[in-house]
Homo-oligomer: A and B are copies of this chain.
Amino acid sequence: MMEEVKVIEIKKSVFAENEKDADALRKELKNKGVYLLNLMSSPGSGKTTTLIRTISLLKDKLRIAVMEADIDSNVDAVRIKEATGIQSIQLHTGGMCHLDAEMTRQGLDNLDLSDIDLVVLENVGNLVCPAEFDTGSCRNAMILSVPEGDDKPLKYPLMFSVCDVVVVNKTDVLPYFDFDLEKCRANVRMRNPQARVIPICAKTGEGVDVFADWLLEDVKNWKQNK
């Protein structure tokens, strides 16, 4: 199984002006009709499990591909491919803590985009650096898991301010942690009044339909505004 997944060794970007490059990539994707979602979070917050659940709900409605970014290992890309059967590749960042637009482009170049509506980029698990680099995505989303605590928007302001959606994962363990969902909503609002907060449990699937519906709607709207 391990050989079935393509592993791309990403080279460090040579473009100094990442913002311009990100805007250019966004335009190219618009022309191709490919919506790119940049999904960020801490390590171990459940990005891959959430993605598998979401893809299962959407794969009859949208043509989806996934790029899994990690410093090392290909476990995530293999998991996605085995669970959903969709196009899934692993990007190795060569020790880098984030992806910028050029690095994202290197990943996209290794996907067959001819019949794809939605590409999800699972960014490196990190609440700091990925927030600082525009990947060229149409939309940024993040996952905050219950065990991490409801105070994270206080400590990692930029991440919360650049995300349109904050998925709160692992709600099944709410009884075992001091995590106040209302306090979390208030903390998110402080950093980003427009951000939508969606509580889910990727393990059981609870609430994932709300996230999937939002994503489906957003992809459709984005395609219509072409």
Which of the segments A16-24, A153-161, A209-217 contacts the partner chain?
A153-161
Interface centre among A151, A154, A155 (most CB of B within 10 A): A155
How many copies the complex holds: the figure is: 2
- Distance A157 CA – B94 CA, assembled complex (angstroms): 11
- Residue of B73, B128, B148 touching A129 (CB-CB under 8 A): B128
Task: With A125-B155, A128-B71 as known contacts, state yes or no: A44 contacts B95, CB within 8 Å.
Answer: no
Q: With CB as the reference atom, state the residue of chain B lying closest to A70.
A: B155
A53 at the interface (CB under 8 A from B): no
A148 lies within 8 A of B43 (CB): yes
- Distance A216 CA – B47 CA, assembled complex (angstroms): 38
Interface centre among A75, A125, A128, A146 (most CB of B within 10 A): A128
In terms of DSSP, what is the predominant structure of the interface of chain A? Answer: loop
- Distance A128 CA – B69 CA, assembled complex (angstroms): 13
B157 lies within 8 A of A72 (CB): yes
Which of the segments A3-11, A31-39, A109-117, A169-177 contacts the partner chain?
A169-177
Residues 113-159 (chain A) with a chain B CB within 8 angstroms: 124-129, 132, 145-149, 151-152, 154-158
For A172, what are the chain B residues with a Cβ–Cβ distance below 8 Å?
A: 176
A84 at the interface (CB under 8 A from B): no
For A146, what are the chain B residues with a Cβ–Cβ distance below 8 Å?
A: 147
Residues 51-84 (chain A) with a chain B CB within 8 angstroms: 70-73, 75
A106 at the interface (CB under 8 A from B): no
A108 at the interface (CB under 8 A from B): no
- Residue of B43, B147, B154 touching A75 (CB-CB under 8 A): B154
For A126, what are the chain B residues with a Cβ–Cβ distance below 8 Å?
A: 97, 126-129
Task: With A70-B155, A128-B126 as known contacts, state yes or no: A44 contacts B149, CB within 8 Å.
Answer: yes
Interface centre among A44, A129, A151, A176 (most CB of B within 10 A): A44
Q: With CB as the reference atom, state the residue of chain B lying closest to A124.
A: B128
- Distance A172 CA – B170 CA, assembled complex (angstroms): 16
- Distance A124 CA – B129 CA, assembled complex (angstroms): 12
- Distance A71 CA – B157 CA, assembled complex (angstroms): 8
